[in-house]
Structure 1
Amino acid sequence: MPVLPGAEPYHHDGGPIGALLCHGFTGSPQSLRPWAEHLADAGLTVSLPRLPGHGTSWQELNRTRWEDWYAELDKAFADLRGRCSEVFVMGLSLGGCMALRLAEVHGEAVRGAVVVNPSVVNDTPLLRLAPVLKLVMPSAAGLAGDIKKAGAAELGYTRTPVRAAATLPRLWKLVQADIGRIRRPVLVFHSRDDHVVKPAGVAFLKARMGGNLEVRELDDSYHVATLDNDAPRIFDGSLDFVRSHASVPLTKDS
């Protein structure tokens, strides 16, 4: 199926430090493209894959599940590890959840994680009914485009595929169960006014992660903060995070 213009993956060959970025559920690489380019301009090797079923149609996404999305991300991580001395993982919303899952699974191979409005708990009551609803309702109202900044837009689906969404609780349970396995530092950017992901996810991380976690509040953005008013704070903050925790200098810092 053809990829929507602007939803293509992004890759940049830079220095010995790699950054793997992951977009959110029903979104596309477009929502993280400015962030990826900012890191690339600083000298990082950057990978921003397009997850299966995304950037095409919600009907195609309905034929996939979280294991398919994670497998694509894991493949991109293995590729970066083969080309870089160390790798940081980053993500928005569900992409932040999967970035944390990578940190749980790969341990010390992940140098650190930066997540924006991560979706890590089931804070949508409708999803509890998804295993039944998927049999009678193929899609629900869309989640994309929660942005405060005037004129900014996210390239995402106007409908949420219910069958695909019904697979999310399993991923959340795995991430919650294994969150204690993350030993590397994690930086969270959290929008105070988010109409997609509720504060329960960040509260869970604060309660379970202790000193490994730093949370920075965003006061002028909604859910898709990487395209919103606070985007420069995220871009610069994540780059400072990499500089602080990498064991080798960035190419342009050498």
Structure 2
Amino acid sequence: MRILVPTPLGKRLAFVEREPYGSKDARIRAAIVRAMHAGDSATAGLLSTPAHAIREMWCFKADLKPRWPSVRQPTLLVQSREDDIASLSNAFYLLRRLGGRVDMLVLDDSYHLVTVDRQRDLMATRVTDFLTTLVRERPAILVPARVANGD
């Protein structure tokens, strides 16, 4: 696929979404499919991803990859064990290579769309806890730079 995408033929290709559309929950999945087929990309994303967008993602990843160790900001990775799009190994790869503190939540009852799937409440709670911890550890991160500097 990587060979075909940059060619003139590849520029006309698109990768169509398919079951399970990132959601383990049948009710949510049905809503996603309805919105996609109605052309409501703001609600559910695109029904297909153009090949050139995939190529841009690959280029972006290649550019970032050597920089990951320099990322020192605290990071929370949220990944589904049964993700239908991205492998759990990707999250572990980042966990080992990011340069700062990295926390990780692995969800056991969700697919790719962790913010809307079955464990969205668990994910939201973990994000809230992560941010609360950051504020306790570093309260100055919430103060705009101009206020902190007396401007």
TM-score, structure 2 normalization: 0.71
What is the match of residue 23 of structure 2? Answer: 147
Cα distance between partner residues in 2 of 1:142 and 1:128: 21
1:174 matched to 2:50: no
Map 1:20-99; keep pairs closer than 5 Å: none
Does residue 138 of structure 1 match 2:13? yes
Q: 1:163 and 2:52 equivalent?
A: yes
Cα deviation for residue 222 of structure 1 reads 0.3
Matched residue SS, 1:227: coil
The structural deviation recorded for 1:210 is 6.3
Higher helix share: 2
Contact 2:5 2:51 in 1 (8 A): yes
1:231 aligns with 2:120: yes
1:211, distance to aligned residue in structure 2 (A) = 6.0
What residue number does 2:94 align with?
A: 205
Determine the C-alpha separation between the residues in 1 that align with 2:77 and 2:104: 5
Query: What is the match of residue 195 of structure 1?
Result: 84
Which residue matches 1:183?
72
* 1:127–1:165 CA contact under 8 A, matched in 2: no
Give 2:148's aligned residue: none
The yes-or-no answer on 1:218 pairing with 2:104 is no
Partner SS for 2:5: helix
Percent of residue pairs bearing the same amino acid type? 25
CA RMSD between the two structures = 2.4
Name the amino acid aligned to 2:75. Answer: V
Unaligned stretches of 5+ residues in structure 1 = 1-125
Q: Give me the whole-angstrom Cα distance separating, in 2, the residues matched to 1:213 and 1:128.
A: 34
| TM superposition outliers: structure 1 runs of 4+ over 4 Å | none
User: 1:186 and 1:148, CA in 2 relative to 1: closer, same or farther beyond 3 A?
Assistant: same
What amino acid does structure 2 have at the position aligned with 1:139? A
Contact 2:5/2:13, CA 8 A, preserved across alignment: no
| Structure with greater strand percent | 1
SS at match of 2:77: strand
> Structure 2: where are the runs of 5+ without partners?
33-43, 143-151
Larger radius of gyration: 2
SS in 2 for 1:160: strand
Q: 1:191 offset after TM fit, Å? A: 0.3
Residues 79 and 91 in structure 2, CA contact (< 8 A), matched pair in contact too: yes
* Residues 148 and 229 in structure 1, CA contact (< 8 A), matched pair in contact too: yes
Letter of the 1:150 counterpart: A
Structure 2: distance between partners of 1:249 and 1:205: 24
- Does structure 2 retain, via aligned residues, the 8 Å contact 1:139–1:162? yes
Q: Secondary structure at the match of 1:224?
A: coil
Given that 2:72 and 2:100 are in contact with CA atoms closer than 8 Å, whether structure 1 keeps it comes out as no
